[in-house]
Amino acid sequence: MTTTTTINAVDIQAVAGLANKIVEEPGVASTTWSSKVAWDEGFRSVASVRDFDPIASDEPAALGGTDTAPNPVEQLLSALGNCLVVGYAANATAAGIEVEQLEVELEGDLDLHTFLGLNPEGNAGFESIRANVTLKSDATEAQLAELHDKVVGTSPVGHTLGRSVPVAIELV
């Protein structure tokens, strides 16, 4: 009989099994992820990802939307926060650290001039993003610092946002 060991509700054997498979077969690590987004009307759209419920998007009323859902830049901040939470849960579990509470608060600074066509040469994206992590655990400060460094150093969304990534957008 196989016993599943979990810490922080994470199946340790599953995580270790994937890591071992990637060591044995490095090609398994190369993955492609996808999303399909369809316009609803106005500034509303819905993203379809695998077999999950659609993820709605809208703009606040001040930007011409109907404020029925988070806007894309709020979703981007949430994606970073979600990725960091996964990183903390996975790496804490691997290190045998039990997490009592984990929360990531994010904010980003965005100048609307370029988005609104008032400065076509400017930056339409975030100028900076800040994340504050609240992590409660009985681990030592040194263990938590090591965990934090590992999570920040391995976050796929963090790495994507922190460096230039080629983006190809084509009209078909």
Examine the pLDDT at 68 and tell me if it is beyond 70.
yes
Single pTM value for the model: 0.92
Report pLDDT for 107. Answer: 98
Note the pLDDT tens digit of each residue in 117-170: 999 899 999 999 999 999 999 999 999 999 999 999 999 999 999 999 999 999
* 120 burial level (CB within 10 Å; 0-12, 13-18, 19+): exposed
Report pLDDT for 46. Answer: 98
Neighbours of 77 (CB within 10 A): 21
* 166 burial level (CB within 10 Å; 0-12, 13-18, 19+): exposed
User: Nearest-CA neighbor of 154 among 95, 86, 87?
Assistant: 87
For the chain, percent of residues with pLDDT exceeding 90? 89
In angstroms and rounded to an integer, the radius of gyration of the C-alpha atoms of the chain is 19
Indicate the pLDDT class of residue 2, thresholds 50, 70 and 90: low
Cβ-contact 135, 149 below 8 angstroms: no
Indicate the pLDDT class of residue 13, thresholds 50, 70 and 90: confident
